[in-house]
Amino acid sequence: MTNDISLTVLQHVEEEPAGVIFEYAHAAGITCEAVPVYETNEVPPFSSTHLLILGGPMSVNDGASYPFIEQEKRLIRSWMAKGRPLLGICLGAQMIAAACGGEIASCTREIGWFPVEACNTGILPGFPRVFMAFQFHGETFSLPAGADLVCRGAQVPHQALVSGSALGLQFHLEPTPGMIRQWISDLPSGEQARVMEETSRHIQGSHERCRLLCERFFHACPEGFTWRPG
C-alpha cells in the first residue's frame, strides 16, 4: 500500500459512519475525509483516490428531496468511466445500481443477521461461500446491464453487485456493536435483545471479512481498476 492513497467517505446520516473501514484505513496510514452530505445536502469537490458511499434512511428515488442523490449518481458514473476504486454500502450500493441504469424498489424488510451466499467468489477472495451479514434495509436494486451479481440472499436475492471499478454491498460489514445498538434502538426490546445476541456471535467474522475487503479496496490502483479478477 502506498502513501498516496486517500479516501473520501460520503456519509448520509450521522448515525452511519464508516466504522471498521475507517479503523482499518487509519491503522494503514491512509488519509481519510468524511463528507457529511446530510449537513450540506450536496457533494463538494474532493481529490481523493478512493471513494466510499455509505448507507442512509432515504431512498435513491427521493432525488427531489435530496439534491445530493443526483450529484452522487453523476459522480459514480464519472469515477467508473476512469476506473477509479469505488465501494458502496447499502444505500451506496443502490446508488451504484441506479447510476448504471438499475431500478430501486421496495423489498422484504431485513433487519438483523441473515445468511448471504457469495456467488462470485473471485470478487471477494477469502470470503466463505455462505456467511452471516448484518442487514438494515427495506429496498433493493435490480441488476443493471453490464453488472454481475456477487452475492445473493434467500429473501432479497440481490445482495451485492460489481460493475468495473464499482462494488456495491447491500449488507453491512463495517458496523461496530455500538453502531448496531443505535440503529435498532427503535425496535421492541425483545427484538433488540435478539439482534444484539446474534451480533455477539457474528460480529468478529463480519469484521474479519471487512478487513479482507479493505485490503482489496485500498490496494486498488487509483485509475484503470476493476474489481473483476483479470
The answer to whether residues 84 and 118 touch, using CB atoms and an 8 Å cutoff, is no
Domain count, the chain: 1
- Burial of 14: CB neighbours in 10 Å, binned 0-12, 13-18, 19+: exposed
Sign of CA pseudo-dihedral 76, 160, 20, 107? positive
Pairing of strands 50-53, 86-89: parallel
In a domain, 1, yes or no: no
CATH number for position 17:
3.40.50.880
In a domain, 144, yes or no: yes
pTM: 0.96
The answer to whether residues 159 and 151 touch, using CB atoms and an 8 Å cutoff, is yes
In a domain, 133, yes or no: yes
What is the full per-residue pLDDT of the chain (230 aa) written as tens digits? 456 899 999 999 999 999 999 999 999 999 999 999 999 899 999 999 999 999 999 999 999 999 999 999 999 999 999 999 999 999 999 999 999 999 999 999 999 999 999 998 789 999 999 999 999 999 999 999 999 999 999 999 999 999 999 999 999 999 999 999 999 999 999 999 999 999 999 999 999 999 999 999 999 999 999 999 87
In a domain, 225, yes or no: no
Q: Which DSSP category does 170 fall into? A: S
